[in-house]
């Protein structure tokens, strides 16, 4: 693996040469010996004409292994399927794991093409994929796979073992053996270790663990991911409202959920989609401009507010020296509070009691504001030899931090309560809002103590 990564360009040139010189037998032998991840990486790096050869050299099942690795490459993968003949593309999709095939089909914009693929698939595959496509996005049903192992509770361990051997070839993964009754209700779970080490004559129902952690088919994927993390599971069974076992969610799909949620959090804090890869500076600029323009107008409010205090600044020009100090510190405090709040919401650990949460954040802001206020008071007095100026700066700093802390913590909670993504309350937005409030606080306090400043 390490050698392949280090010599990737050489390997790419090597396989490209084989494709362009019609060395099919040699290409298949060497290419299929690679790990699926390396195959997928090479496939993505090939030129269009070379990928067309791949479709001739590899069977649908062999290419499906590659596309199971690529199922999150939404933008590129639609183009790959457009390159294939429709029957071949349909065969590839039917050979993929159903949950991965659903991800691919849900991200193909041409719905007529999707319907054509389903029509060309074997009936059983099309029926299974169509059923999974009906589940709402971001629910357990939308990411579960139906390729799992479940045995009847009345079997002996020997019978369960032989059944497992027969079914294992079609299962996406075998971390646990789930136990069901005649109506396919989930009744328990059996580990492979228990299946192997116990006497063959024992019944599955006597050896199974009945304390099964499961999720409902319409549960939110973030809640599912949290349960998998809390209970340290490799797979999570998904049941219907009558406890019928419908599928399982494997740990690789949970990792995809965690990755997407982390990207969403980063995107919110930075006010830019960090998951989007831009090929040109122009496209990168277009993605960043909307928030920048919005924040520009909000920032103009800060500039307008400062201009209203021109007379005050002209009387005590030293006030202007500390504007950026107060706004910057308040913005940093608000961003810190925002990051913690979004993290709590993501992990479902936020305090649901609004009043309690408010006072918690208020006291946190008071504590940090007082300490920073005292520090800035000492700095200003030592620098300017002006106790009144130090007091004004310290009081303004403390108040600005308290307000920014409350805004950073409570605005995401409010967004979440009303059904919006809390990441909308982005870092730049909170920073700009903190600038506006801290300028107002600073000059209001200065105006109250102007006589002492002069």
129 and 236 inside one domain: no
pLDDT at 371 over 90: yes
Four-residue CA torsion sign, 133, 138, 140, 145: positive
Q: Give me the mean pLDDT over the 36-51 stretch.
A: 91
Residue at 245 is within a domain: yes
User: In this structure, are 104 and 161 located in the same domain?
Assistant: no
Are residue 419 and residue 302 in the same domain, yes or no? yes
Instruction: Tell me if 346 sits within 8 A of 258, measured CB to CB.
Output: no
Shared-domain flag, residues 310 and 412? yes
Distance CA 52, CA 15 (A): 14
Q: Within this chain, do residues 236 and 292 fall inside the same structural domain, yes or no? A: no
The pLDDT score that the predictor gives to residue 94 is 94
- The H or E element containing residue 249 is strand 245-250
Contact 413, 426 (CB under 8 A): no
Same-domain check for residues 233 and 206:
yes
In tens, the pLDDT along 288-301 reads: 666 667 767 767 77
Top mean-pLDDT range of 73-77, 230-234, 269-273: 230-234
Average pLDDT, the chain: 84
- For residue 255, is it within any domain? no
Number of domains in the chain: 3
Residues sharing a CB contact under 8 Å with residue 119, sequence separation 6 or more, in sequence order: 90, 126
Which residues have CB under 8 Å from 249's CB, separation 6+? 140, 143, 144, 145, 215, 224, 228, 235, 236, 238
Q: If pLDDT is split at 50, 70 and 90, which confidence band does 54 have?
A: very high
Angle between helices 48-57 and 74-83 (to 10 degrees): 70
Domain match, 38 and 181 both: no
pLDDT at 122: 92
Measured in degrees and rounded to the nearest 5, phi and psi for residue 388 equal -65, -45
Residues 52 and 82: their CA atoms lie apart, in Å, by 11
Least confident of 107-121, 214-228, 285-299, 437-451: 285-299
State the helix-helix crossing angle for 8-20 and 48-57, rounded to 10 degrees.
70
What is residue 256's predicted lDDT score, i.e. its pLDDT?
80
Whole-angstrom distance, CA of residue 366 vs CA of residue 405: 9
Contacts of 49 (CB under 8 A, 6+ apart): none
Q: Provide, rounded to the nearest whole percent, the portion of the chain with pLDDT above 90.
A: 38
Partners of 180 in the β-ladder: 152, 186
For residue 446, report the phi and psi dihedrals to the nearest 5 degrees: -60, -40
Same domain, 99 and 210: no
pLDDT in tens, 299-342: 777 778 788 888 887 777 788 888 888 888 888 888 888 777 77
At 203 the three-state DSSP class reads strand
Per the structure, the complete domain to which residue 237 belongs is given by 150-250
Work out the percent of the chain whose per-residue pLDDT is above 70: 85
Return the pLDDT at 426. Answer: 62
Determine, yes or no, domain membership for 262: no
In a domain, 270, yes or no: no
With a cut of 80, say whether residue 61 has pLDDT above it: yes
CATH no. for residue 109? 1.25.60.10
Q: What is the pLDDT of residues 379-409, one digit of tens each?
A: 989 988 889 888 999 999 999 999 988 888 8
Per-residue pLDDT tens digits for 123-182:
999 998 998 888 888 899 988 988 888 999 999 999 999 998 888 877 777 888 999 999
* Residue 346 confidence (pLDDT): 64
């Amino acid at each position: 693996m390490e050698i392949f990564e280090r010599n990737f360009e050489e390997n790419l040139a090597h396989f490209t040469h084989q494709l362009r010189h019609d060395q099919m037998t040699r290409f298949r032998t060497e290419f299929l010996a690679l790990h699926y991840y390396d195959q997928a990486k090479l496939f993505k790096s090939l030129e269009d004409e070379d990928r067309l050869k791949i479709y001739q050299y590899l069977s649908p099942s062999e290419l499906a292994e590659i596309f199971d690795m690529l199922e999150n490459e939404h933008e590129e993968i639609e183009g790959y399927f457009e390159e294939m003949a429709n029957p071949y593309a349909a065969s590839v999709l039917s050979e993929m794991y159903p949950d991965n095939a659903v991800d691919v089909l849900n991200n193909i914009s041409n719905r007529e093409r999707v319907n054509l693929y389903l029509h060309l698939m074997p009936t059983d595959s099309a029926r299974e994929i169509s059923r999974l496509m009906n589940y709402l996005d971001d629910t357990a049903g939308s990411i579960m796979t139906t390729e799992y192992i479940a045995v009847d509770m009345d079997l002996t361990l020997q019978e369960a073992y032989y059944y497992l051997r027969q079914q294992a070839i079609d299962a996406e993964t075998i971390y646990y053996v789930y136990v069901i009754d005649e109506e396919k209700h989930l009744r328990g779970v059996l580990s492979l270790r228990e299946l192997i080490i116990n006497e063959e004559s024992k019944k599955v129902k006597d050896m199974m663990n009945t304390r099964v952690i499961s999720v409902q088919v319409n549960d939110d994927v973030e809640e599912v991911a949290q349960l998998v993390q809390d209970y340290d599971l490799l797979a999570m069974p998904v049941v219907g409202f009558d406890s019928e076992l419908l599928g399982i969610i494997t740990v690789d799909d949970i990792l995809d959920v965690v990755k997407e949620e982390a990207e969403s959090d980063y995107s919110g804090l930075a006010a830019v989609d960090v998951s989007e890869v831009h090929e040109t500076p122009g496209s990168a600029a277009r993605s960043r401009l909307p928030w920048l323009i919005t924040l520009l107008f909000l920032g103009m409010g800060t500039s307008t507010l400062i201009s209203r205090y021109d007379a005050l600044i002209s009387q005590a020009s030293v006030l202007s020296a500390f504007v950026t100090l107060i706004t910057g510190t308040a913005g940093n405090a608000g961003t810190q509070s925002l990051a913690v709040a979004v993290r709590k919401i993501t992990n479902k650990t936020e305090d649901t009691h609004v009043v309690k949460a408010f006072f918690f954040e208020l006291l946190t802001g008071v504590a940090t504001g007082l300490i920073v206020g005292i520090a800035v008071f000492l700095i200003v007095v030592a620098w300017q030899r002006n106790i009144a100026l130090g007091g004004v700066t310290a009081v303004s700093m403390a108040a600005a931090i308290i307000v920014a802390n409350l805004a950073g913590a409570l605005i995401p909670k409010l967004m979440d309560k009303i059904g919006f993504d809390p990441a909308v309350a982005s870092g730049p937005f909170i920073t700009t809002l903190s600038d506006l409030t801290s300028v107002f606080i600073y000059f209001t306090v200065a105006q109250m103590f102007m006589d002492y400043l002069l």
